[in-house]
């Protein structure tokens, strides 16, 4: 047994003993090998082995574990599937990781009220799976939806390709049960969209695990749209594709999704899954419409007309569910597939006002050229959410140049009036860049709000807000999940 001293002076042994009094042995991990599998999340460059990992089996046990942490004065980090891309579930040295993977029951599919009651460890895609027999689905669809959990979605306020029309996690959560830093259980939100008093539910959503641990969540389910129409259109330039998106917006059409890929991304995706992309095309758009059939058909005709008007060189209508799945599979595989054309890469997540897409892409290309690195682009064009992939070689010693370029791209997004993150979160990864987007006062007020929830700062410390210790660290290279390489899941 290790006798490392935790932050507050308790020994890891004493901490583990308290957990063992609460949970069966299989739910308390203290051995080095076991702990190591929790040392990072999807942002594999940041690693930290925790003191203890616990796997409570229900909300009461989560609360009891948090009370143990409170008693010992040690920090804790909640963890779902560990697919996050910003190091939001990065453990804290000498701290506890509270895994929610045993809380994975779908508690209720309430068809009449169109909602699902879930434990946090339920996979995002399984919600729609359980709702499907009733003609319902859960709208937010992060690209990793097969392997990410609703608890993680709550923490990150996850979006997805279809959030352009349907919004983010925050727009679909009605009610949550939350364990606070002192181990008390409270309910945030309510049974309808109407709440009495301030929207603490909305404040908690997207707070990246720094305000507490969600142990139960009620989400809205939507009726599956009657019609879905998907088109893949090639364009002679990024600008022409961008102008087409602008024209769609001007035509008062809100598509369900508008995705753009550049030639480098398509080359990689095509090599990986053969989705039928034209690899010679400088840019392509995937545009999807859904809704009542009349509306969908009318707007789809308009969209294909706008694509032609803006010089589309090929318009491929995915006419069957199989063809649609193929188009999307390529899109989802594009990211991990970049590994086929580059030994290493960093993925970035930033947002610019949609009208500045062409400008930011030109600047990114210039910045890449200046340092001799290629940047592939796959992004949600409808809402200006970029996912530049900085390609580099670890072996060639390009790590620092690539990492610097990637960070500068996110900061460029802020300069252009956008945001450091559209969906991956700030986590440990971008905490040091937060001062580019917010003033010291802005960040101090956020910290004061946090102090109301967690006065001792033990709830996922070191995330979101810049700290000197954190900002000195240097991340390692990114490694994709095997399912990403297969085009089954994606992170953008």
Partner 1 sequence: MSTSTTAPTTTTELRDAVRDAPGPVVATGAGTAADWAAPPAPDATVISVRGLAGVVAHNPGDMTVAVGAGTPLDALQSALAEHGQRVAFDAARVRRGATVGGLFATADSGPLALAYGSLRDLVIGVTVVLADGTVARSGGHVIKNVAGYDLAKLLHGAHGTFGVMSEVVLRLHPRPPAVRTVALPCPDLAGLPAAGRAVTDTPVEPSALEWSDGRLLVRLEGTEGGVEGRATRLAGLLDGAAELPAADADAAWSSHADAVEGPDGRAVIRVGVRPTQLGEVLTSLVGEADAEDVTAAPATGVATLTVPADAEVVAAVHRRLAAAGGTSTLRSRPAGTDLPAWGPAPASAVLLRAVAASLDPDHRIGRGRMDPWLPRTGAPA
Interacting positions 125-184 with partner 1 (CB under 8 A): 156-157, 159, 163, 167-168, 170-171, 180, 184
**Calpha distance 254→256 (Å, rounded):** 7
How many residues touch partner 1 under the rule CB under 8 A: the total is 89
Question: Under a CB-based contact definition with an 8 Å cutoff, are residues 270 and 279 in contact?
Answer: yes
Q: Verify binding: residue 246, partner 1, rule CB under 8 A.
A: yes
Q: Find out whether 277 and 232 touch, Cβ atoms under 8 Å.
A: yes
Show contacts with partner 1 in window 99-128 (CB under 8 A): 110, 112-114
When asked if residue 202 is in the footprint of partner 1 (CB under 8 A), the reply is yes
Which H/E stretch holds residue 451? helix 440-453
Give the helix/strand (H/E) hosting 200. Answer: helix 200-204
Q: Which residues contact 295 (CB under 8 A, 6 or more apart)?
A: none
Looking at the DSSP bridge assignments, the partners of residue 316 are 232
Q: Which of 31, 294, 394, 415 binds partner 1 (CB under 8 A)?
A: 294
Task: Choose which of 66, 283, 389, 437 interacts with partner 1 (CB under 8 A).
Answer: 437
Region near partner 1 per CB under 8 A, out of 44-52, 244-252, 334-342, 397-405: 244-252
Alpha-carbon distances of 78 from 1, 24, 50, 90, 465, rounded to whole Å = 24, 19, 12, 9, 17
Site for partner 1 in 248-277 (CB under 8 A): 249-250, 252-254
Contacting partner 1 within 444-483 (CB under 8 A) = 444-446, 448-453, 455, 464
Q: Which is nearer to partner 1, 82 or 242 (CB)?
A: 242
Q: Are strands 375-380 and 344-347 parallel, antiparallel or unpaired?
A: unpaired
- Region of 2-10, 25-33, 353-361, 473-481 interacting with partner 1 (CB under 8 A): 353-361
Query: Among residues 441, 468, 472, 474, which is the contact residue for partner 1, using CB under 8 A?
Result: 441
3-state secondary structure of 213: strand
Nearest approach, Cβ of residue 244 and partner 1 (Å): 13
Residue 27: CB minimum distance to partner 1, A: 27
Q: Could you please report the per-residue DSSP string of 33-82?
A: HHHHTTS--S-TT-----SEEE--SSHHHHHHHHHHHHHHT--EEEESSS
Residue 83 in the binding site for partner 1 (CB under 8 A): no
**Span of 14-22, 142-150, 326-334, 433-441 interacting with partner 1 by CB under 8 A:** 433-441
d(CA 236, CA 162): 25
Tokens 């929207």: give the residue: 199
Binder to partner 1 among 45, 384, 388, 475 (CB under 8 A)?
384
Determine the interface stretch with partner 1 among 71-79, 139-147, 230-238, 288-296 (rule: CB under 8 A). 288-296
Structure tokens at 135: 């003609």
Q: Which residue stretch of 54-62, 320-328, 441-449, 471-479 sits at the interface with partner 1 (rule: CB under 8 A)? A: 441-449
DSSP-H helix ranges across 223-320: 238-250, 263-273, 293-309
Query: Closest distance between partner 1 and the C-beta of residue 284, in Å?
Result: 21
> Among 199, 280, 309, 415, which residue interacts with partner 1 (rule: CB under 8 A)?
199
Of 31 and 294, CB closest to partner 1: 294
Cα separation, 69 vs 386, in Å, equals 39
- Please, what is the minimum distance in Å from the beta carbon of residue 118 to partner 1? 16
Instruction: Give bridge partners of residue 386 from the DSSP assignment.
Output: 350
Rank residues 30 and 170 by Cβ distance to partner 1 and give the closer one. Answer: 170
* Least distance to partner 1, CB of residue 168, Å: 8
Compute the least distance from the CB of residue 179 to partner 1, in Å: 12
CA atoms within 13 A on the CB side of 456: 16
DSSP H or E run through 284: strand 283-291
d(CA 279, CA 390): 19
């Amino acid at each position: 047994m290790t006798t490392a001293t935790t932050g507050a002076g308790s020994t890891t042994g004493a901490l583990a003993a308290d957990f063992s009094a609460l949970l069966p042995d299989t739910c308390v991990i203290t051995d080095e090998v076991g702990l190591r599998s929790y040392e990072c999340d999807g942002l594999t460059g940041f690693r930290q082995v925790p003191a203890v990992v616990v796997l409570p089996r229900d909300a009461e046990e989560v609360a009891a574990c948090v009370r143990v942490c409170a008693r010992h004065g040690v920090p804790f980090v909640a963890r779902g599937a560990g697919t996050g891309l910003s190091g939001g579930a990065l453990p804290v040295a000498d701290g506890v990781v509270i895994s929610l993977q045993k809380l994975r029951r779908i508690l209720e599919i309430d068809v009449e009220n169109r909602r699902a009651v879930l434990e946090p460890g339920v996979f995002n895609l399984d919600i729609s799976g359980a709702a499907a027999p009733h003609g319902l689905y859960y709208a937010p669809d992060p690209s990793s939806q097969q392997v990410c959990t609703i608890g993680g979605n709550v923490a990150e306020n996850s979006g997805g390709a279809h959030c352009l029309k349907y919004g983010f996690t925050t727009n679909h959560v009605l009610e949550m049960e939350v364990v606070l830093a002192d181990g008390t259980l409270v309910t945030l939100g309510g049974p309808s969209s109407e709440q009495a008093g301030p929207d603490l539910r909305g404040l908690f959503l997207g707070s990246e695990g720094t305000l507490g641990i969600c142990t139960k969540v009620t989400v809205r389910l939507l009726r599956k749209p009657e019609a879905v129409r998907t088109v893949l259109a090639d364009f002679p330039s990024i600008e022409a594709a961008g102008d087409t998106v602008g024209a769609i917006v001007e035509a008062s059409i809100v598509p369900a999704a508008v995705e753009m890929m550049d030639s480098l991304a398509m080359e990689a995706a095509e090599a990986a899954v053969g989705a039928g992309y034209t690899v010679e095309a400088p840019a392509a758009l995937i545009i999807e419409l859904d809704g009542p059939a009349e509306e969908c058909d009318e707007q789809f005709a308009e969209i294909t007309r706008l694509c032609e008007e803006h010089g589309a060189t090929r318009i491929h209508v995915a006419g069957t569910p199989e063809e649609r799945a193929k188009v999307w599979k390529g899109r989802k595989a594009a990211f991990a597939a970049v590994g086929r054309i580059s030994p290493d890469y960093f993925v970035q997540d930033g947002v610019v006002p949609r009208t500045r897409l062409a400008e930011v892409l030109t600047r990114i290309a210039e910045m890449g050229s200046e340092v001799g690195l290629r940047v592939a682009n796959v992004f949600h064009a409808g809402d200006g959410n970029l996912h530049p992939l900085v390609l580099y070689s670890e072996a060639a010693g390009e790590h620092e140049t690539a990492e610097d370029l990637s960070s500068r791209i996110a900061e460029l997004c802020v300069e252009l009036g956008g945001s450091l993150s559209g969906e991956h979160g700030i986590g440990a990864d971008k905490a040091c860049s937060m001062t580019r987007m917010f003033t010291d006062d802005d960040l101090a007020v956020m910290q004061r709000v946090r102090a109301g929830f967690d006065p001792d700062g033990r709830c996922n410390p070191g995330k979101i807000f810049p700290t000197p210790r954190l900002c000195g660290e240097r991340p390692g290279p990114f490694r994709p999940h095997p399912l990403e390489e297969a085009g089954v899941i994606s992170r953008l």
